[in-house]
Amino acid sequence: MKQKLLLLLILVYMPLSAGIHNLTLHRALKLLDKHNLEIKIAQYNAQMKKYEQFAAQGYDYGKLDFSFMALRSNDAGNVFGFKLQSREATFGDFGFSDFLGDLGTMMQGQQLDHDPLQTAPRDLNYPDDRNHFVSKFTYMLPVYTGGKLTEYKKITKSLFEMSKLDMAKVRSIKRYQVKKAFYDIALVQSYISNLRKIIGNISKLKQIISEMKKEGYAQETDKLEVKARMVEAQSMLSQAKLNRELAYQFLSFLLDTEVSSVRAKSSLAPKPKVTKAMIEQRSIDIQKAKLGLKITGMALELEKAKFRPTVGAFAEYGSADDKPFNDFFNKDSYTVGMQLQYNIFNGGTDEANLEKAKVNMMKVADQVRLAKKGIALKVKQLQTQIGGYDADVRSYRAQLKFARTVYRKYQEKYKEGISSISDVLIKQAKELEVLLKLLTAKNARNSKVFELQSLLNLGVK
């Protein structure tokens, strides 16, 4: 019975602990590329743009269709046309039987009571029902499009390249979020560790008060103050654990994989070295702006192509009969031809669209220059902020070391009866305050470092 109960508890516990343990940042980034849903969606978008590029290239080879029609009619025009298309038309279909009958009567010297030329031929006007089956291959080929097809292929290819840049942008943002989540977890863990030490110090202080109270050197209020501080510290610890759990949930969401624990460094993230040339080479936003300018130039050429003629060629080959595919090659036929189309006047619409494309070209060129200057300014701002946080971290580290030393001294003074418990707790609160400032500065500094890496699409080192 005990063994069954133990097995049941193990089975119940397994789903709760099935997540990845001791996940490293390097492995997390690999899981991100494989499982993140937003990256997958961006990849699908890129694949669709690739197929659009293939579709545009396919227009060069023209279009071949096969059609099959099955008809039945007793309409005089249709039936006569069916026979002509099947190469089966005879003089009898023109009503010659009626005409020859009148002609024979006239040759015998007899007079007709009607004009033979006004005779309505019954075979022509009232034909029997007829089936008609047509099998046809039709091939159409654009010979010259004025450059439209060429520019359209260039545009679809560039849009595919743009979709890959969009995918790289999404991937860069997700990598930033994963790296930040890792360092957030490390900082929260550091905060929890320090809180536990503080709670341990409070427990020691509580024990000191109990011993001093026995000797008559401590008051009941001292014990109450320490108890209140203990409750406050434990509340902060519970909140920190909830924040850590939230960070794990967010990381699991990013990776689309349950993560139970990570192996994260609590140190500061390395600051990347950035050069002016690197900004233009690595920034995805600048690359997208440049590619957008190229696409705008292609769109301008597309508008110019509207002022040129288009030439197309076509060919048809097929066969028709009153039975499907009957005597196909004896009744086959073909048609070939070319068509030239040239727009002479459309109310000035093409001219207006061409001027609009020229203005858009100038606008996008300025947007590229703006993107370069904007990204360079953003990089400078991030570097300045990182430098400021580095100074804050150095300052808070020194303050924390001093605050801890002061706290220990006041704790000794309290044992000697020189200071009050309130002074000791105030110094401890100061230590906690500086600790929070240090961890906040580290977190803000790491966030800016990862933002800079994301802005320049830099990898993990």
Q: Is residue 109 part of a domain?
A: yes
Structural domain count, the chain: 2
Please report whether residue 74 resides in a domain: no
Distance of CA 133 to the CA centre of its chain: 50
For residue 4, is it within any domain?
A: no
Enumerate residues 6+ apart whose C-beta is below 8 A from 347. Answer: none
Residue whose structure tokens are 């000794």: 412
Residue 316 included in any domain? no
The dihedral through the CA atoms of 201, 204, 209, 210 has a sign that is: positive
pLDDT at residue 38 in the model: 96
Number of Cβ within a 10 Å radius of residue 241: 14
- One domain for residues 119 and 151: no
Does 188 lie in the same domain as 106? no
What is the pairing mode between strands 130-144 and 63-73?
Answer: antiparallel
Whether residue 117 is found in the same domain as residue 262: no
Q: Residues 202, 158: one domain?
A: yes
CB 160 within 8 Å of CB 50: yes
Same-domain pairing of 97 and 165: no
Q: How far is CA 136 from CA 170, 200, 310, 339, 360, in A?
A: 50, 91, 26, 20, 46
Q: Could you give the CA distance from residue 61 to residue 142 in angstroms, rounded to a whole number?
A: 8
| pLDDT, position 359 | 97
Distance (Å) of CA 6 to CA 13, 115, 329: 11, 115, 83
Do 394 and 430 lie in one domain? The reply is: yes
pLDDT at 14 (0 to 100) = 42
Residue 7 lies in a domain: no
What stretch of H or E contains 317? strand 310-321
Render 157-222 in DSSP notation, one character per residue. HHHHHHHHHHHHHHHHHHHHHHHHHHHHHHHHHHHHHHHHHHHHHHHHHHHHHHHHHHTT-S-HHH
* pLDDT, block means (10 residues), the chain with 461 residues: 44 53 93 95 96 93 95 89 84 65 62 64 80 95 93 95 96 94 91 90 84 73 85 92 95 95 82 89 94 96 93 95 89 94 91 95 96 95 95 94 91 81 86 90 93 84 41
- Distance of CA 259 to CAs 256, 300, 355, 411, Å? 9, 51, 56, 41
pLDDT for the residue 45: 96
What is the rounded distance in angstroms from the CA atom of residue 90 to the CA atom of residue 92?
5
Report the relative pairing of strands 332-341 and 63-73 from DSSP bridges: unpaired
Write down the pLDDT at residue 198: 87
Close Cβ partners of 37 (under 8 Å, ≥ 6 residues apart): 256
H or E element at residue 64:
strand 63-73
| 224 and 348, same domain (yes or no) | yes
- Domain extent, residue 102, equals 87-123
Does 162 share its domain with 92?
Answer: no
Cα gap 300→136, rounded to integer Å = 40
Identity at 256, one-letter amino acid code: D
Residues 152 and 43 in one domain: yes
| 66 membership: H or E segment, kind and range | strand 63-73
Q: What is the CATH number for 34?
A: 1.20.1600.10
Give the per-residue pLDDT at 116: 62
290 and 413: one domain? yes
Rounded Cα gap, residues 68 and 136, in angstroms: 6
CB atoms within 10 A of CB 7: 10
In a domain, 275, yes or no: yes
> Does 315 fall in a domain?
no
My answer on whether 115 and 221 are in the same domain is: no
Strand partners, 311: 144, 340
Same domain, 363 and 279: yes
Res 18: pLDDT:
60
Q: Is 75 among the domain residues?
A: no
